[in-house]
A and B are shown apart, each in its own frame.
Chain A
Amino acid sequence: MIKDLGWKVGGAQGEGIDSTGEIIALSLFRLGYYVSTYRHFMSLIKGGHTNYKVRVTSELTNHHGDALHMMFAFDQESINHNFHELVNGSILVYDTAIKNAEAPEKDGVNVCAIPLTDLAKEAGSPIMKNMVSVGVTAAAIGLTPDDFRSVVVDRFGSKGDEIVESNMAAMRKGYDYYNENFNHRLELPDRPEVKEERLFISGNEATSLGALAAGCRLLAQYPITPATEVMYQLIKQFPKMGGAFIQAEDEIAAVMMAIGGNYAGVRTMTATSGPGFSLMMEALGLSGISETPLVIIDVQRAGPSTGLPTKTEQSDVFAILYGSHGEIPRIVLTPRNVEECFYYTMEAFNLAEKYQCPVIVATDLYMGMNKQTVSSIDFDKFSINRGKLISDEELAELEKGAFKRFDVSVEDGISYRSIPGQKNGRFVAMGNESDEVGVEMEEPVLRTLQMDKRARKLANFNDNAGFDYAGAANAELLLVDFGSTGGLQYEVFKALEAEGVSVGHLTISRIAPFPMELAGYLKAAKKILVSELNSTAMLATLLKQQVGEHAKYESCLKYSGDPFLFEEVYAKAKEVADSLKKEVTL
């Protein structure tokens, strides 16, 4: 098991919980540690319990960890809500400003009542109780207030030196108070050597940077948690990069704008979550039949309907795979971590233009809204490839009106695309079935040819592998996942492997077109455990449909809105591994 330190702050929404968590996480990141974070919050602006978890490790992880070693509670609810996570040797700090605070008795939990608010008042303002907490943290984990200074300067520098210094003073108050009154210390994992540049970034931010690097210069979006943040970086960077943003009136408009922008030659995308994705279904078909490139980011959240707007799930699978009437080619990528949010978004634009069809990048709230350390992102990894765009010269050589946008004779199904503004490149993009230029028709033979043409486009897709495998070639127990569950399951896999279990880890990053090359792993395994955040085992259903091996499946499912804990998946995997052992001894 990975050595880590789990830290958390909890309080009421609007109390600066996120900023406290971020100061801790970013400072530790800057010191060279790997951090993974998780924000628990509700669909409210003020009030309601919120907390921010930081997991500190010396190696890369994509999971916020189960263990809690230090907890700050700004209110009673935070104690009630999180106490059970505290491990042996941990510290619970609560603010003495909480009236009649009550902490349960538990062996091994050091309860520290500290006047966080009062110390903050002494430093100048009660709102600086978060900085007092940072100081207490520094003392407990063997760091000094100066280790946090750079982040404080970045956050408050624009408000003047005085504000920076009063925040530092508050931090020192907490630091001194802890040192004077308590002697329990926590151990940080070894500080890793920083060999490459790293970023502290969320999946949504990585997604927008991926779009930027891919040359996306038009974004049409309607706000929705947890996809809203995808907008902000692009809105910020577009003026410098020659792009523009349209806040659409709804998601139908947003996706139609994304189609219109691509048609006009601009790499355009839209981002949304389940409710918005449902509204985009008719347009998905339009992109497919009109062969207009389209990139949609679906940051999944817990459904159905409004569901749990601030909680995570992987339950849009079938909507993404099959949504929209009729049949179209589509590509669905499921990045498994923050870094892949960048790369898959970047690649999505190349794929959309190469195959002239919709590409859906399915992330989720869990990795979308939480920041973590990633190794430096290579913005040059994919060179921009715009696919089959016909040139002005080629069009000039054609007889007038001879350009066939939807030429059915192309072997790979991908016909050349012209862009409005190009002479002699006229065509009509159509929602109706059309002839080769863009005139609607219902002629059976040509209709069949057009359907076949579009279907051919993805028949030999091999642009990316679509999955990764770790473990022995003929592992008995195969752990399978997709999307953000991959990071956690990898840890489970490592733990089981270390225990000598015959285990493999198959983590899927593309569900359409289905990467059939993975079938061998399913066939070789004795048991297949699919862990996914939905209630109907959608990924397992897909695997059964595509590969078979129906008798081998076990599922680890969760649909409470919270991400998996390590322990949940580990326990299930262990149970299945044990059942295999029994089979052998029988």
Chain B
Amino acid sequence: MATLVDFRAEKPNWCPGCGDFTVLAALQKAAVNLGLEPENMVTVSGVGCSGKISQYMGGYGFHSLHGRSLPVATAVKTANKDLTVVAAGGDGDGYGIGMGHFLHAVRRNVDITYIVMDNHIYGLTTGQTSPTTDKGMKTKTSPTGATEEPVHPLQMAIMAGAGFVAQGFSGNLKQLTELIEKGMQHKGFSLINVYSPCVTFNKVNTYDFYKEHLVNVDEDASYDRTDRFAAIKKIEETNENLVGVIYENTDRLAFHEAISTFPEVPIAKNDLQISREDWNKVAAQFK
């Protein structure tokens, strides 16, 4: 059985207090709790402070391009369905430059878990407006306050057909670990948006801010997370300041399950050689 040590790699280089430490810790704990072996886990990340998580996480990693973790993760899972695949990155990475891939990954329902370290700011590039920056917040690129409507990733994921949508907070390692575990167990695409404060460039969305405002739906016995309209309502009512499993629907088949002709054996384990007999059949179409 693998232990936490097996899921540790390089020592993280984030600013002291950065929310991403907690995300990494939660991911490591979740992997251990689920009994995963590091060699069977792949963490694919985009580019940003958050994107460095693939270097710090044990198991295989792919630190890809800004905004492009999801297509890579999609292909890794399709190539070898036996692997546990996590995609991870920032709010700019996932909801800015990678927004197209995000919605399509939801639709495609590939069996991967997508963790977005949402700090409402571009961290690595030192503090510009991000797609989730609150209206009115001043940043280096919005000196008079952001004017654009922020994207609403939770609602978008639900409306696009996601089967598992959760939100966590870097101030609550225990809950975040549970959310990631559940997301990884979900068969199909799971989104875990994490409020992961950037202590250096975002002085608005701080730990204290979230501690004060977050509503925990996991503690609300009356909350029906299988009702998508109730979920949307709750998200709007709380002004997106909620944590927990917000929406869950286990009806949809994952990408590799939904394709009736999808190979039984993981593609990566396939024999590449074609028999002469098969080849003759292929060639016969051109005679």
Contact = CB atoms under 8 A, between A and B. Distances in A.
A282 B65 contact: yes
Contacts of B70: 253
Nearest to A249: B104
B258 to A, nearest CB: 12
Contacts of A258: 75
B265 interface: yes
A201 interface: yes
Q: Which of A198, A256, A425 has the most CB of B within 10 A?
A: A256
B265 A263 contact: no
Contact of B83 (A420, A426, A427, A430): A420
Nearest to B261: A239
Contact of B274 (A213, A263, A426): A213
Interface in B58-83: 58-65, 68, 70-76, 78-80, 82-83
A423 B76 contact: no
A431 B47 contact: yes
B229 interface: no
Given A212-B274, A244-B259, A218 B78 contact: yes
Interface stretch (B37-45, B136-144, B219-227): B37-45
A266 B78 CA distance: 10
Contacts of A254: 71
Contact of B282 (A237, A242, A257): A237
Q: Which of A214, A260, A263 has the most CB of B within 10 A?
A: A260
Contact of B82 (A220, A233, A261, A421): A421
B278 A421 contact: no
Interface in B256-287: 256, 259, 261-263, 265, 267-268, 270-274, 278-279, 282-283, 286-287
Interface in B71-100: 71-76, 78-80, 82-83, 100
Contact of B55 (A30, A268, A439): A439
Contacts of A265: 79-80, 268
A304 B79 CA distance: 34
B72 A263 contact: yes
A260 B83 CA distance: 13
A199 B287 contact: yes
A422 B101 contact: no
Contacts of A424: 39
A384 B274 CA distance: 11
Q: Which of B9, B62, B273 has the most CB of A within 10 A?
A: B62
A432 B63 contact: yes
A431 to B, nearest CB: 5
A64 B16 CA distance: 69
A132 interface: no
Interface in A502-542: none
B263 A200 contact: no
A491 B263 CA distance: 47
A224 interface: no
A240 interface: yes
B10 interface: yes
A263 B62 contact: yes
A338 B60 CA distance: 40
A472 interface: no
**Interface SS, A side:** mixed
B72 A215 contact: no
B229 to A, nearest CB: 27
Contacts of A267: 272
Contacts of B64: 256, 259, 286, 429, 431
Interface residues of B, number: 56
A189 B112 CA distance: 60
B155 interface: no
A319 interface: no
A451 to B, nearest CB: 18
Interface in A239-293: 239-244, 246, 248-250, 252-254, 256-261, 263-268, 282-283, 286, 290
Interface string B200-221: 0000000000000000000000
Given A429-B61, A438-B61, A218 B267 contact: yes
A371 to B, nearest CB: 8
Interface in B226-278: 256, 259, 261-263, 265, 267-268, 270-274, 278
A249 B100 contact: yes
Contact of A420 (B39, B108, B282, B287): B39
Contacts of B170: none
Q: Which of B83, B259, B261, B262 has the most CB of A within 10 A?
A: B261
Contact of B270 (A199, A243, A249, A431): A243
Given A237-B282, A264-B76, A426 B9 contact: yes
B132 interface: no
A253 B268 contact: no
B54 interface: yes
Given A243-B270, A261-B76, A200 B286 contact: yes
A259 B42 contact: no
A335 to B, nearest CB: 17
A428 interface: yes
A209 interface: yes
A182 interface: no
Contact of B278 (A240, A248, A290, A425): A240
Contact of B76 (A199, A237, A290, A420): A420
Contacts of B75: 218, 220, 246, 256-261, 263-264, 268
A61 to B, nearest CB: 18
A390 interface: no
Interface in A164-208: 197-201, 205
10 contacts: A198-B287, A218-B267, A242-B270, A250-B100, A253-B74, A260-B79, A423-B37, A425-B60, A428-B62, A432-B63
Q: Which 8 A-B pairs have the closest CB atoms?
A: A215-B272, A260-B75, A428-B61, A239-B261, A264-B79, A256-B71, A260-B72, A257-B75
